[in-house]
Amino acid sequence: MAEANRQTSRLWLWIAAGVLLVVVFFVARAMTRDRMPVHVATAVRSELFSTVPTNGLVEPIQNYEFHSPLATSVREVYVQQGDHVKAGQLLMQLDDVAARARVATAESALRSAEATYEATKQGGTLEERQSLGANVSRAQIDLAASQRELAALQKLQATGAASASEVAAAQERVSIAQDGLAALQARQQTRYSPAEMERSRSAVADAQANLTAARDVLERTSYRAPIDGTVYSIPVGRSDFVEDGKLLLQMTDLKKLRVRAYFDEPEIGNLAVGQKITIVWDARQGKEWHGHISLVPSTIVTFNTRNVGEVLVTIDDADANPGLLPDTHVTVTVTTSSEPNILTVPRESLHVENGKYYVYRVVSDSLVRTPVTTGTINLTQVAITAGLKDGDVVATSSLNGLPLEEGVPVKVVR
């Protein structure tokens, strides 16, 4: 019996030792388990801006383009691209021989039309009037002779020396002479009809318009600066042949520029006149310009493969901060909203599941999934309106690529 009790006691000792070893094993394993290395961030209060970046094109507010008025050649170019010029300064001269010939032809045509119109008003040219006057005088003489002949025959008829038929023939000749004279006199008074007068007047107007156009072409063969500004494009050179309508030169006031920005359709609803804009040009590293929205889109257009709204941006510091050039591509960023003194965390710490947002807080070196309510979200930060307090530490990412999960022990890597 005593021997059986001793065996039972030894068995329980071995069982106790085994349990102790198992407990020691799991405790040691828990103490030595690898912790997930994570980056963290602290929830702090700051001013949060919501911004939207896009591309845009710099353009002059008032651009001056000079085009060739005819096919000719460039006689001389007096400026270079980038030159600052004064109003009235000569910029370029085209060969104007053909233009001067056109003016001379138009002047000759106008003088001819004016002479024709004057003759029309006077009843014909001087030669025509003199010829008509001579015909009237001749008709008057013929009428007087016919009347004398009629009077003589009437006297002879009274004595029986002339027959009635001879008197009737004489009367007919008088009537014919009177009609001929009346027609010539009427022709002297109104030789041309109102329609003919209007046609002659229109010919003068057409000739005057042609002369005005020819003089305008001649004047546009010489180009002078309309304002103080900068020549920013000269696509032609001296002696180059240019066709009618060819662009020759562009200039503007570089202190008066704007940006035409292209915002994607979903972003247009957040835009408003007056919102602040930041402008960056890759060719000027480290510089930025500032402006504001002056015109929001009124329609959607297709730009390359995008549906966009065109927004006009006034540059506020183009005068104090020069360097932008027309037709350059820039990046514009609009501030659509801002929240002062709001609790924020990095955007990469925010997660979403079934439409609900949450973060992983670091509590006692473990991850705790915490639901949050968000406010403004921009590219890097998110506003937290509920679920966190100042100073809470949240995990942003793991360094070993494993996903963040509830309860996972972590090692913070600063």
Place of tokens 């968000």: 374
The kind and range of the H/E element at 19 are: helix 2-32
Q: Which of 177, 179, 155 is nearest to 166 (CA)?
A: 155
Distances (CA, A) of 165 to 144, 152, 158, 189: 20, 14, 13, 36
pLDDT in tens, 164-178: 787 788 788 878 877
* Beta carbons of 205 and 197 less than 8 angstroms apart: no
pLDDT in tens, 277-296: 999 999 988 899 999 999 99
Q: Is the pLDDT of residue 32 over 60?
A: no
Pick the residue with more confidence: 224 or 52?
224
pLDDT in tens, 368-390: 999 999 988 877 889 999 999 99
Confidence grade of residue 106 (pLDDT, cut at 50, 70, 90): very high
DSSP assignment of 194-237 equals HHHHHHHHHHHHHHHHHHHHHHHHHHTTEEE-SSSEEEEE----
Pairing of strands 36-42, 410-412: parallel
- Taking residue 404's Cβ as centre, other Cβ atoms within 10 Å add up to 19
Q: What's the confidence (pLDDT) of residue 195? A: 77
Mean pLDDT of 84-90: 95
Q: What's the confidence (pLDDT) of residue 4? A: 60
Confidence grade of residue 44 (pLDDT, cut at 50, 70, 90): very high
Q: What's the confidence (pLDDT) of residue 160? A: 75
What domains lie within the chain, and their CATH numbers? 47-60+253-412 (2.40.30.170), 63-96+221-252 (2.40.50.100)
Q: What's the confidence (pLDDT) of residue 243? A: 96
* Beta carbons of 61 and 337 less than 8 angstroms apart: no
Q: Is the pLDDT of residue 24 over 70?
A: no
| The dihedral formed by the CA atoms of 158, 159, 162 and 165, expressed in degrees to the nearest 10 | 30
